[in-house]
Copies of this chain bind each other. A is one copy, B any other.
Amino acid sequence: MKKLIILAILVAPIFLKAQQCEKWKVFEISLKGDQTGNPFIDVNLSAQFSFGNEVKSISGFYDGNGIYKIRFSPDMEGNWEYITQSNQKKLDGKKGKFVCVSPKKDNHGPVVVQDTFYFAYSDGKPHYSFGTTCYAWVHQGDSMANLTLKTLANGYFNKIRFCVFPKDYDWNKNEPLLYPFEGKPLKKWDYTRFNPAYFRNIEKRIQQLDSLGIEADLIVFHPYDRWGFANMDAQTDERYIKYITSRFSAYKNVWWSMANEYDFMKDKKMSDWDKFISLFAANDPYNHLRGIHNGAVWYDHTNPLITHASIQSEDTYRAKDLRDKYKKPVVFDECRYEGNIPWSWGNLTPQEMVNKFWRGFLNGGFVGHGETYITENIAKWPNESNDNLWWSKGGILRGQSFERIKFLKTIIESSPGFLKPVTILESWMPYQGVCFKDEYYLLYYNLDQPRSQVDNLPQHSKYKIEVIDAWDMTIKPFAGEFSGKTLVALPQKPFTALRITKIKN
């Protein structure tokens, strides 16, 4: 009897731990193995996860100190079993099982492409991508990261772009706290040995973002580098991709961005990018979203392994044409930033930043935010300053666009369905607009100042019309019901939009 009790005590925690995993969350196997040789290179580890006849093979990774891990994110509720495979005996043939349980209220699963031009969470809830960019926020330490997370918790954005590697650029000359490889800065790295602490830090941030409902758009490579990470050899690049896909893929909010300004990485050829894209498609068992972001030269986003067009361009109004061209969701991840720096890409007025959001969304696309305000009292040379700019380090927002972006987000998220560029109103409507069937129209008149507008509403139904001030963040209804050709009086100022909603047939 005594023996049995002891056994129960020993077994119970293990059994309970492995017992449940929420759908789309992470089930992690942690195994103690040998650390002789180079575990990053010498050890192969994977696990077969079975659900009835369905089997998924998941790669593991070495997490340092003799610990090997396999992370799995189940997408079906019910009983799962697994068995490990490894060339290291201690890691091979380990078996286990768990029950995948229903997702909680705020867990909607990974974002996927839906209806060609849109995003939705795996449970079908639409995801309207309102991104921001803080390239190096995960490399600034806890204090800054917590400040960033506190800012993000206000719900302005549901996606953030950031770099896996540390960043070297104007206003970002500080060393990161950790480095991705064993070795010493600047360039003495053992590229065969990752620094697990570096990647654990990123995982922590990914999970913190997930708890805020924010997608982590991970930039795999970037050119802003003084450590050599932009110029690793092909073998190291591939090992790095394998390592981060094994570590990060199970987190449901991960997106893969092959690069920021891929074309500014002069050591990489177009064939390298094609290969990287293929590697992510092959290595990521969950098929997370994959994009590649341009500098001056656009990637050919018709590549079927690219899930969405991740564009740098200030012409967000081109979303409609780019939808037609790529037949994919169009995301303007960079359309210049609100700020006051000398470089033209970072000194938009808040007004123009808001305008670019409206024009992008009202042409059927998605737009990303960034903020680049210098705060030092005396203007310094950009490469001599260590100022905290949101776009680079995160922290707090200082501008005036983010609140208006949230206002637009609220409007878009309350629309009755995926919004497509209008066709019915076009002959009368020289501006952009989107609609959901004939039930709902959202029209926007840019920074222009029309005093009236002629709208050609469907004849067969009655509509209510509300006038939106995209800057003042007001929505005011017009008295009456409208139908057919309608002359609408407008406030004669920039940022005017109309919301037209069917009230009866």
Contact = CB atoms under 8 A, between A and B. Distances in A.
Interface of A: 339-345, 347-349, 352, 374, 379, 381-382, 430-431, 445, 447-454, 487, 489, 492, 494
Kindly name the residue among A341, A352, A379, A454 whose own CB sees the greatest number of chain B CB atoms within 10 A: A379
Given A344-B448, A347-B449, 7 more contacts: A342-B453, A344-B431, A347-B445, A349-B449, A352-B448, A379-B452, A382-B454
Contacts of A382: 454
Contact of A450 (B341, B445, B449): B341
A340 B450 contact: yes
A18 to B, nearest CB: 56
A453 B341 CA distance: 8
Contact of A492 (B340, B344, B451, B489): B340
Contact of A379 (B343, B345, B489): B489
A405 to B, nearest CB: 18
Please state the number of chain copies in the assembly: 2
A453 B382 CA distance: 10
Nearest to A493: B349
Contact of A448 (B348, B430, B453): B348
B449 A340 contact: yes
A104 B276 CA distance: 74
Nearest to A485: B381
Contacts of A431: 344
Kindly name the residue among A347, A374, A379, A494 whose own CB sees the greatest number of chain B CB atoms within 10 A: A347
A454 B449 CA distance: 34
A379 B488 CA distance: 9
A450 B349 contact: no
Nearest to A431: B344
Contacts of A341: 450-452
A340 to B, nearest CB: 4
Contacts of A451: 340-342, 347, 374, 379
Contacts of A489: 379
Contact of A344 (B342, B374, B430): B430
Contacts of A343: 430
A19 to B, nearest CB: 57
Contacts of A347: 445, 448-451
B450 A494 contact: no
Contacts of A345: 430
14 contacts: A340-B450, A340-B492, A341-B450, A341-B451, A341-B452, A342-B451, A344-B445, A347-B449, A347-B450, A348-B449, A349-B448, A349-B449, A379-B451, A381-B454
Task: Kindly list the 8 A-B residue pairs having the minimum CB-CB distance in the complex, ordered from nearest.
Answer: A344-B430, A340-B451, A379-B452, A347-B450, A347-B448, A342-B453, A340-B492, A342-B452
